[in-house]
């Protein structure tokens, strides 16, 4: 039991650190601002942040959610994403031992950023989706998760199946029904979980979509046939639990 708590603490601590970066990336990248270069700055006044202001979650609590210089409210996405990344890291390290736990956590953090960008901006950058394919295949080659052959086939089928569906919809309805990044993302997911489990991703995404529609209706929002849901977000959220289970086999 002590070992599990220690692994959860390590995964959660790493998640807080990674989550701080993911939060900044999710805010700045869509704005065309640099993420990895230069010192961290306040999103409101642009003041450079000191080490004491960069402690994940703790700085937010100490500063009561406001910049120490301009008193502007700190974007609530920072603590929310840091908490989410910490939870992913803790669960991954508890579910999987050693290197597999770190790989599972990294996959979850990657999917988290993808889910956020698609949810908020309907954007699935190739720089995020496409690298997941060779990374997933490399993990298979190293012996983590399902065998390589099934995952290579999953990448091809995942990408090809959604691309074909999108093409048929566009031809039949004369309008776009799916973003160009969605097939790439499903192909990337297939490189991690294999071809046979791809239907579970689509079923999970569909169920989450129904929950989202129900929530929209309860809030009084209009839901029509043209209402767009972030399919990439729904698939990303569905994919990580499937990976957690299959990686143990």
pLDDT along the chain (249 residues), means of 10: 84 95 90 68 70 76 78 85 97 92 97 96 94 97 94 96 87 74 96 96 94 87 77 96 88
pLDDT at 48: 73
Which residues are CB-contacts of 136 (< 8 A; sequence separation ≥ 6)? 151, 155, 188, 191, 192
Helix (H, G, I), strand (E, B) or coil at 57: coil
Ramachandran category for residue 57: left, alpha or beta (phi over 0 → left; psi -120 to 50 → alpha): left
pLDDT at 34: 66
Residues near 35 by beta carbon (within 8 Å), at least 6 away in sequence:
21, 24, 25, 28, 29
Contact 231, 197 (CB under 8 A): no
3-class SS at 41?
Answer: strand
Which tokens in the block code for residue 115?
A: 């889910």
Pairwise CA distance, residues 99 & 5, whole Å: 17
41 bridge partner residues: 48
CA–CA gap between residue 51 and residue 39 (Å, rounded): 10
The predicted structure's pLDDT at residue 144: 94
* DSSP-derived 3-state class of residue 204: helix
Q: Residue 105's CB: how many other CB atoms inside 10 A?
A: 26
pLDDT at 36: 64
Compute the distance between CA of residue 182 and CA of residue 235 in angstroms, rounded to an integer: 9
Longest Cα–Cα distance of the chain, Å, equals 59
Three-state secondary structure call for residue 73: strand
């Amino acid at each position: 039991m002590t070992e599990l708590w220690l692994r959860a603490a390590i995964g959660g601590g790493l998640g807080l650190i990674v989550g701080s970066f993911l939060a900044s990336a999710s805010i700045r990248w869509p704005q065309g601002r640099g993420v990895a270069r230069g010192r961290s700055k306040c999103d409101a006044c642009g003041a450079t942040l000191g080490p004491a202001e960069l402690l994940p979650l703790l700085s937010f609590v100490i500063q009561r959610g406001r910049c120490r210089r301009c008193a502007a409210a700190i974007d609530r996405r920072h603590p929310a994403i840091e908490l989410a990344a910490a939870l992913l890291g803790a669960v991954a390290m508890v579910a999987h031992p050693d290197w597999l736990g770190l790989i599972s956590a990294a996959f979850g953090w990657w999917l988290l950023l993808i889910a956020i960008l698609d949810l908020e901006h309907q954007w699935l950058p190739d720089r995020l989706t496409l690298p997941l394919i060779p990374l997933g295949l490399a993990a298979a080659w190293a012996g983590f998760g399902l065998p390589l052959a099934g995952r290579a086939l999953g990448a091809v089928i995942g990408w090809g199946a959604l691309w074909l569906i999108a093409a048929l919809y566009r031809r039949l309805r004369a309008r776009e029904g799916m973003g160009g990044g969605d097939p790439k993302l499903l192909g990337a997911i297939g490189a991690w979980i294999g071809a046979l489990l791809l239907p579970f991703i689509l079923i999970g995404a569909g169920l989450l979509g129904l929950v989202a529609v129900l929530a929209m209706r309860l809030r009084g929002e209009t839901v029509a046939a043209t209402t767009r849901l972030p399919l990439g977000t729904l698939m990303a959220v569905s994919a990580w639990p499937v990976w957690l289970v299959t990686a143990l086999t």
